[in-house]
Amino acid sequence: MELRTAASPKDVKHYTTDRLREEFLIQNLFVTGEIKLVYSHIDRIITGAAVPVEPIALTAGDELRAEYFLQRREMGVINIGPKGIISVDGKEYELDYKDGMYIGMGARDIIFKSADTKNPARFYINSVPAHTSYPTALIKMEGTPAEDVVIIKDENKVELGCLEESNHRVINKYILPGQVKSCQLVMGMTALKPGSVWNTMPCHTHDRRMEVYLYFEMPEDAVVMHYMGEPTETRHIVMRNEEAVISPSWSIHAGSGTQAYTFIWGMCGENQAFDDMDGVAMGDIR
């Protein structure tokens, strides 16, 4: 498990491009046949991916000093590849493209599998500390609710923006109060409509939570300019397909791409209020 320490905004304003990328950019997450994990000291979030050919078990490793991975944690998973299977304490859940899962604290045996080993699933993972165990749930965009299966509610599929402002997008909220209970993890996916490139502008910060973005559904030659930093000390990181970026609480987090794209956002921290944001006026950004 790779370790990333926290960073002060006073220091970040002096970082070179390489240093900025070293601290906040997560590359090469999706490695065939492996689980890759990055542990950040910022709110103790773990960002990772599993691309199983043969079944792969999720273990705590020495870094967590735990008997098993979710002994003191919860996690969210979204599949951005072909059909896959997650086994949780012996019960199997099938995840199609863009299906998600919430797995609560206390689940011991977690195994990632692919339905077709020649076309392995691509599981994206966010995990955060937890203090209470909530039920495991399979999360789908459409379908019929069933035991352990949650369908994203219409009110959690929010269409925002417009083509004239290049930010027409749909926000799909997977894990949040009122839909899937968790201790502190909030997770979802935003898809930009063709012709739109901005994921949010005007931008915002939220001092009570941090965030991680994963950008995907991008052609090989496409990029997203991810903007971060204090509102008056902005920086950018060039992002490519299936790369993630860590966003501290004090930082803005916005992006503009060379074309439309999709991104997964995961948040943790003081609260789970989706609209707890501190807006930044366009005239204040530098």
For every residue of 39-81, which 3-state class applies, written as one string? Answer: EECCCCCEEEEEECCCCEECCCHHHHCCCCCCCCEEEEEEECC
User: Higher model confidence: residue 275 or residue 43?
Assistant: 43
Is the model's pLDDT at 7 over the cut of 90? yes
Residue 276 confidence (pLDDT) = 85
The total number of structural domains that make up the chain:
1
CA distance 9 to 144: 46
Task: Look up the CATH number of the domain holding residue 238.
Answer: 2.60.120.10
Q: What percent of the chain has pLDDT over 70?
A: 100
pLDDT in tens, 201-245: 899 999 899 999 999 999 999 999 999 999 999 999 999 999 999
Residue 165 confidence (pLDDT) = 93
Structural domain harbouring 270? 2-284
Instruction: For 76, list phi and psi in degrees, rounded to 5.
Output: -120, 145
Between CA 269 and CA 15, with CA 31 as vertex, the angle to 5 degrees is 55
Is the model's pLDDT at 277 over the cut of 90? no
pLDDT in tens, 184-193: 999 999 999 9
Is the model's pLDDT at 141 over the cut of 90? yes
pLDDT in tens, 97-122: 999 999 999 999 999 999 999 999 99
Between CA 3 and CA 85, with CA 264 as vertex, the angle to 5 degrees is 85
Do residues 119 and 80 make contact, with C-beta atoms less than 8 angstroms apart? no
**Of 88, 87, 75, 79, whose CA–CA distance to 119 is shortest?**
79
Instruction: Over range 125-147, report the average pLDDT.
Output: 95
Residue 232 confidence (pLDDT) = 94
CA distance 173 to 39: 24
CA distance 279 to 207: 11
Q: pLDDT tier at 274 (50, 70, 90 boundaries)?
A: confident
Q: Residue 81: CB partners within 8 Å, gap ≥ 6?
A: 51, 97, 119, 120, 121, 122, 123
**Of 80, 268, 84, whose CA–CA distance to 189 is shortest?**
80
Residue 23 confidence (pLDDT) = 97
Strand, helix or coil at 182?
coil
CA distance 152 to 145: 9
C-alpha count within 13 angstroms, C-beta hemisphere, residue 257:
28
Instruction: Over range 80-104, report the average pLDDT.
Output: 98
CA distance 166 to 114: 37
Instruction: Over range 140-144, report the average pLDDT.
Output: 93
